[in-house]
Chains A and B, each alone.
Chain A
Amino acid sequence: EPEVTQTPSHQVTQMGQEVILRCVPISNHLYFYWYRQILGQKVEFLVSFYNNEISEKSEIFDDQFSVERPDGSNFTLKIRSTKLEDSAMYFCASRETDSSGANVLTFGAGSRLTVL
C-alpha cells in the first residue's frame, strides 16, 4: 500500500540551529501538508502546499518556517533558528480526493524534533 515516508524519524538539535525535515508523499497525490503535534497535545495544522506553492498556512507557520518541493518528489519543511518550543512531532501528509470527493489524508510516521 502506498505510503508517505518521512526522514529523519528523530532529530536532536541545538537551539538556534536550522533543521530540514523531509517527506516523500504518495506519488499521484497533489496536495501536501505539514502538521505539528507537541507532546501530549493535539495535532495542529501548519501549512498546505499545492501546485508548487503554499495554499494555506496557520498562524504557527511564521517566517521561521518554509516549505518547498525541490525535485518533484521530496517535500521539505525548514525550520530556521530553532527554539525550545519547536520540539514536537512533525507529520507530513498527502491528500487524495477519492471517487466520493472525500479528502483522505495519509500521514507519514512523523519526525520527532527535539531542541536542546
Chain B
Amino acid sequence: AQKVTQAQTEISVVEKEDVTLDCVYETRDTTYYLFWYKQPPSGELVFLIRRNSFDEQNEISGRYSWNFQKSTSSFNFTITASQVVDSAVYFCALDNYGQNFVFGPGTRLSVLP
C-alpha cells in the first residue's frame, strides 16, 4: 500500500528564515514519482515539482530546494529566506504509475512578517 506522511502539521517561521518541510513515503514499487503541491489561502492546488525514483539528485529552483533520499524514503522541501507569500499548505504526493495520486495530510506553513 502507498502512504505519505507529513509529520509537521503546522510550522511558523519569521520572514527570511529558512524552513524545511518533511515528507516520508511508503511504497512497494521500485518505480514511482514524488510531487509537492502548494495550496495558498485562495484554495487552489499548485504543482511545484516532481521527482522520479531513479533520480536522487537534489534540485534547486530559486528559493526552493528538494532533497530526495531513497534510503530513508524521504523527499524534503526547503524554502530559503522565506517570505510572507510562502504561507500556504504544502502537500507531498506519491504516484506509482497507478491511477491516482496519494497525498500526504499537508503541512501548514505560516511566515510571519
Chain A positions near chain B (C-beta within 8 angstroms): 31, 33, 41-45, 48, 55-56, 58, 89, 91, 100-110, 112
Contacts and interface: CB of A to CB of B under 8 A. Distances in A.
Contact of B44 (A33, A48, A104, A109): A109
A31 B52 CA distance: 20
Contacts of B97: 101, 103
Interface string B8-43: 000000000000000000000000010101000011
A110 B95 contact: no
Interface of B: 33, 35, 37, 42-47, 50, 52, 91, 95, 97-106
Describe A's contact surface by its main secondary structure. Answer: strand
B103 to A, nearest CB: 4
B45 A100 contact: no
B43 A43 contact: no
